[in-house]
Amino acid sequence: MLHLLTSPRTARTVRGLIGTLIETAADAVRSIAPAAPAEEPAVVEEAPDPAGLYEPDEMPEVDAVEAAAAEYERAADQARRADRGKRAAKKVLDRLPAGIYGTWRVFRTPSSRQTPDLAEITRLFKAHGLGPVPMKPCAASLKVERVAADEPVAALAA
């Protein structure tokens, strides 16, 4: 049993895990550290509103919108932190061969999802003189940000 703890493979794994923990801690610090003040505020391009929005008589109370926006921001921050942790752990796990490691079984299963082969589609379009491959934009991303207390009324009136 002792030889397992001192083997080169275990040492590499432990060094990898320590590096991953340090990287995760650095990511966490970066996520909560205040950003450096920018010289000029960044201009954020806004997408048009989608269909199916509230009608004026259906609009929820401002308190409900504020609560939903705060919850959305909190959940999005948790998701970003979880994604960083997942990526850090995956760096170690992706390189492991299938097997049992302590109380964890590492294995892979084939994916049932498929994605278009854009390189092959592009080749076919070029071969048949069909021009560029048609593309469509992705859905707009929902963003929320806290504004000064005197701004919400003006924003709702716009």
1 confidence band (pLDDT: 50, 70, 90): very low
What confidence score (pLDDT) does residue 25 get?
59
Residue 46: count other Cβ atoms within 10 Å of its Cβ: 8
What confidence score (pLDDT) does residue 154 get?
47
CB 16 within 8 A of CB 88: no
Rounded CA-CA distance 32/21 in Å is: 17
Q: What's the pLDDT tens digit per position in 56-112?
A: 999 999 999 999 999 999 999 999 999 999 999 999 999 999 999 999 999 999 989
pTM of the model: 0.54
Residue with tokens 């589609």: 121
In the numeric block, which tokens belong to residue 117?
């082969």
What confidence score (pLDDT) does residue 137 get?
87
Does 39 have pLDDT greater than 80?
no
Domain ranges of the chain: 1-32+73-103
CB 47 within 8 A of CB 140: yes
Mean pLDDT of the chain: 81
Q: What's the pLDDT tens digit per position in 102-118?
A: 999 999 999 899 999 99
Helix intervals (H) in the chain: 2-6, 8-32, 62-93, 118-127, 152-157
